[in-house]
Amino acid sequence: MYTKKDAYDYINRYQRENYDRITILRKSGEKERLTQIAKNNGYKTVTEFINAAIDEKISRM
């Protein structure tokens, strides 16, 4: 039987092997602003919004 810890371990291992983690720092209060902008423009998460913004910027280069 799998435990919650087993599930977390699997998820963490999968993410380490399949994704790069990029950390950004913004001024205090920006996260809430970005969250509202993302939601108002149809994005489910700030991460989805940021990834779309990066992809759009790259496509213009």
What per-residue confidence (pLDDT) applies to 54? 97
Place of tokens 């699997």: 10
Each residue's pLDDT tens digit, 5-23: 999 999 999 999 999 999 9
In a domain, 29, yes or no: yes
**Cα→Cα distances 11→2, 5, 8, 31, Å:** 13, 10, 5, 25
CB atoms within 10 A of CB 38: 19
In a domain, 10, yes or no: no
In a domain, 18, yes or no: no
In a domain, 8, yes or no: no
| pTM (2 d.p.) | 0.75
In a domain, 11, yes or no: no
Domains contained in the chain, number:
1
Residue numbers of the domain that contains 43: 24-61
In a domain, 3, yes or no: no
d(CA 47, CA 31): 11
In a domain, 39, yes or no: yes
